[in-house]
């Protein structure tokens, strides 16, 4: 087909093929990352630089190893009697790898074949079906394809890597996650939505749009706030002036949600009767952040966390009725803990969720009431008071690859090195030490002293940069915060309903696993990778910085609980890794996630690695 095309269409054809190739590679690498961490490594099915059969390896693999001094990772698939092979820059104890080739696959006695995402996914899903004695997961294969196709949409929209300063840079960082979670099988999947809508509302494409408004009779508004100011008063400050009939209030929804709302019988009946009024879009555009459903408008003092009945990656992103309650309830319960954390760690800010607003027809059956609450549910999140000379950036964007092949954090360190006249290695260590000192101690303090389990994974952390260094850390999405029953007995939770209480309680062991995964694996291991991916000795220095940070924490703030946890960490106890791939394979809800062991960088002396 290309040979028969005109000269003008040739560049377009090659460009499209390049996009498909890059999206395929990134999808394959994310899937392989997840498989190696969750399945192959715990089962002892990874081999490095094996000499056996090396003469039959593909030429690109041989050249990578011989001419570039690279390494070769071999993955055994014992139940399907296959092997995978891929070129890697160097081994990583946390399995964060820079891949230098496509994956290749072979069965015994057969030649190696290059695998695109489709072939790799089929090979791995077939192995997993045999391993767990279940049918091949066609649904997951479709979702992986959906994610790859959307990456292909997002890659051309990626701008340059210079985001600027201030809130402009912040918004650029929120909308820059072209490839998404590097250890997730479907990092960009968005299911059941027309491509036109995805293009209109996706942050990766620089989306901005007005909200869609409904008029709600005042008695049908359901709201809660833990401030003296009502939740609706907080919301109203964010909204344009909209003419309304007497006795009605305007309630915005994400425009992506309108189709779902109009599909609900209770909503259609309310529109027909005039109990609800469809006002349509209005006001200035709002910008979707990395989570897609949380919206930001510069100058506003609240983010809007909207309900979306769209499946993004693993979950339908609706605000469940009990999550509306628990978000505000937890913010209220943590008001004293927030004060303590701010006094002990003034470089930390919790982005509270002080209110929610939704619709509730109290004269309807419970099922219809819950459907309404979840369809209209809107959580308000405080916008921090950024310092004038501060540039807030999303951690998930800082520690990520871009289509250019660079990581934004590498640009930040280069600027710091030039400005201060430092070597790359010294600037990297200074930057990393500033980051972990602002993040790790308050998260440990919250867990071990206050019984509060935050989720400081990359997408929940915003890093405030001043003079080129991390100066402040902001933790968001408190709706996912959990409380340990030892410090939070029932008498402290009487303000929550039984369902909301159950959703926020976590046993001690599970709380430790959650914080270790979010903080150490999802966040810090990614930071170390992007800061030192080309320098093994620098990586050792960064892990030593974390070791010193943990030791200092215990000296300054430690108690028995933190002493036990830190001792286990520094003795090299494996880290608990969340099973993003196996959740999908076994069709588990995200809240039912399990953990598998990941080798710790402290498992042997750092200077011996």
Residue 12 pLDDT class (50, 70, 90 cuts): low
- Percent of the chain scored above 90 by pLDDT? 79
pLDDT score recorded for residue 72: 95
Average pLDDT (356-380) is 96
Please indicate whether residue 199 or residue 16 has the higher confidence score (pLDDT).
199
Given a cut of 50, whether residue 444 has pLDDT beyond it is yes
Given a cut of 80, whether residue 34 has pLDDT beyond it is yes
pTM: 0.94
Contacts with 272 (C-beta within 8 Å, 6 or more apart), sequence order: none
Average pLDDT (188-211) is 93
Distances (CA, A) of 112 to 97, 103, 262: 22, 10, 52
Express each pLDDT in 393-425 by its tens digit.
999 999 999 998 889 999 999 999 999 999 999
- Percent of the chain scored above 70 by pLDDT? 96
Q: How far apart are CA 609 and CA 599, in angstroms?
A: 13
pLDDT score recorded for residue 7: 41
Express each pLDDT in 521-532 by its tens digit.
999 999 999 999
Q: Is the dihedral of CA 203, 482, 510, 503 positive or negative?
A: negative
Given a cut of 50, whether residue 59 has pLDDT beyond it is yes
Is 586 in a helix, a strand, or coil?
coil
CB 323 within 8 A of CB 503: yes
Residue 605 pLDDT class (50, 70, 90 cuts): low
Average pLDDT (105-117) is 92
pLDDT score recorded for residue 5: 38
pLDDT score recorded for residue 3: 36
Express each pLDDT in 532-554 by its tens digit.
999 999 999 999 999 999 999 99
Number of H helices, E strands in the chain: 21, 24
Per mean pLDDT, which range of 12-21, 137-146, 296-305, 489-498 is the poorest?
12-21
Residue 13 pLDDT class (50, 70, 90 cuts): low
Fold exhibited by the domain 391-608: Transferase(Phosphotransferase); domain 1 (1.10.510)
Q: How far apart are CA 37 and CA 574, in angstroms?
A: 12
Q: How far apart are CA 382 and CA 302, in angstroms?
A: 5
pLDDT score recorded for residue 108: 83
CB atoms closer than 10 angstroms to residue 414: 15
Per mean pLDDT, which range of 49-53, 56-60, 185-189, 459-463 is the poorest?
49-53
Q: How far apart are CA 606 and CA 484, in angstroms?
A: 33
Please indicate whether residue 317 or residue 206 has the higher confidence score (pLDDT).
206
pLDDT score recorded for residue 327: 84
Q: Where are the beta strands (DSSP E) in 307-424?
A: 311-312, 315-316, 348-350, 355-359, 378-382, 391-394
Average pLDDT (336-343) is 91
Given a cut of 50, whether residue 609 has pLDDT beyond it is no
Given a cut of 90, whether residue 4 has pLDDT beyond it is no
pLDDT score recorded for residue 434: 98
Given a cut of 50, whether residue 439 has pLDDT beyond it is yes
Given a cut of 80, whether residue 606 has pLDDT beyond it is no
Q: Where are the beta strands (DSSP E) in 78-172?
A: 82-88, 104-107, 113-114
Q: What is the mean pLDDT of the chain?
A: 92
Where do the structural domains in the chain lie, given as residue ranges?
9-155, 210-382, 391-608
CB 279 within 8 A of CB 250: yes
pLDDT score recorded for residue 14: 47
Distances (CA, A) of 418 to 122, 181, 424, 467, 468: 47, 31, 9, 12, 11
Is 75 in a helix, a strand, or coil?
strand
CB atoms closer than 10 angstroms to residue 563: 12
pLDDT score recorded for residue 42: 97
Express each pLDDT in 200-238 by its tens digit.
999 999 999 999 999 999 999 999 999 999 999 999 999
pLDDT score recorded for residue 17: 64
Please indicate whether residue 84 or residue 4 has the higher confidence score (pLDDT).
84
């Amino acid at each position: 087909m290309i040979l028969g095309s005109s000269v003008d269409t040739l560049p377009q054809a090659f460009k499209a093929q390049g996009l498909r190739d890059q999206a395929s590679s990134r999808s394959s690498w994310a899937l392989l990352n997840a498989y190696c961490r969750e399945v192959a490594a715990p089962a002892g099915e990874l081999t490095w630089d094996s000499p056996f059969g090396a003469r039959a390896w593909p030429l690109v693999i041989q050249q990578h190893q011989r001419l570039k001094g690279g390494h070769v990772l071999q993955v055994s698939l014992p139940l399907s009697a296959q092997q995978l092979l891929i070129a890697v820059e160097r081994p990583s104890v946390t399995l964060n790898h820079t891949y230098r080739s496509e994956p290749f696959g072979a069965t015994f006695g057969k030649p190696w074949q290059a695998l695109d995402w489709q072939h790799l996914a089929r090979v791995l899903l077939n192995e997993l079906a045999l391993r767990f004695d279940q049918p091949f997961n066609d649904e997951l294969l479709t979702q992986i394809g959906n994610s790859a196709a959307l990456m292909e949409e997002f890659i051309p929209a990626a701008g340059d890597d210079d985001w600027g300063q201030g809130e402009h840079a912040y918004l650029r960082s929120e909308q820059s996650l072209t490839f998404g979670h590097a250890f997730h099988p479907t990092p960009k999947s968005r299911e059941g939505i027309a491509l036109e809508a995805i293009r209109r509302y996706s942050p990766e494409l620089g989306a901005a749009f007005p909200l869609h408004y409904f008029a709600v009779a005042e008695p049908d508004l359901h709201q809660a706030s833990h401030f003296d100011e009502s939740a609706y008063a907080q919301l109203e400050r964010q909204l344009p002036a909209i003419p309304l009939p007497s006795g009605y209030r305007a309630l915005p929804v994400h425009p992506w949600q309108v189709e779902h709302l109009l599909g609900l019988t209770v909503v259609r009946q309310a529109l027909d009767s005039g109990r609800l009024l469809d006002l349509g879009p209005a006001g200035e555009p709002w910008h979707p952040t990395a989570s897609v459903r949380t919206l930001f408008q510069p100058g506003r003092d609240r983010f809007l966390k909207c309900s979306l009945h769209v499946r993004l990656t693993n979950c339908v992103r609706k605000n469940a009725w009990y999550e509306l309650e628990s978000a505000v309830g937890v913010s209220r319960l943590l008001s004293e803990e927030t004060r303590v954390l701010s006094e002990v760690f003034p470089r930390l800010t919790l982005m509270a969720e002080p209110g929610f607003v939704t619709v509730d027809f109290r004269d309807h059956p419970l099922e219809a009431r819950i459907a309404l609450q979840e369809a209209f549910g809107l959580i308000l999140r405080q916008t921090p008071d950024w310092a004038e000379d501060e540039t807030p950036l999303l951690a998930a964007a800082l520690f990520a690859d871009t289509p250019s092949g660079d990581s934004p954090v590498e640009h930040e360190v280069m600027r710091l090195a030039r400005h201060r006249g430092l070597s790359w290695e010294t600037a990297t260590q200074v930057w990393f030490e500033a980051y972990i000192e602002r993040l790790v101690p308050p998260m440990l303090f919250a867990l071990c002293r206050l019984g509060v389990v935050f989720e400081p994974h990359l997408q929940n952390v915003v890093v405030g940069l001043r003079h080129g260094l991390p100066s402040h850390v902001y933790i968001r999405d408190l709706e996912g915060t959990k409380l340990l029953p030892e410090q939070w007995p029932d008498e402290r939770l009487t303000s929550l309903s039984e369902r909301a209480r159950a959703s926020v309680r976590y046993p001690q062991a599970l709380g430790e696993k959650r914080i270790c995964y979010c903080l150490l694996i999802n966040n810090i291991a990614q930071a170390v990778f992007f800061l030192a991916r080309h320098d093994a000795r620098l990586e050792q220095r960064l892990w030593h910085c974390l070791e010193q940070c943990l030791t200092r924490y215990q000296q300054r703030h430690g108690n028995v609980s933190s002493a036990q946890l830190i001792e286990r960490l520094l003795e090299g106890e494996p880290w608990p890794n969340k099973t993003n791939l196996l959740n999908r394979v076994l069709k588990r809800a995200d809240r039912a996630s399990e953990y598998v062991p990941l080798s710790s960088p402290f498992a042997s002396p750092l200077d011996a690695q």
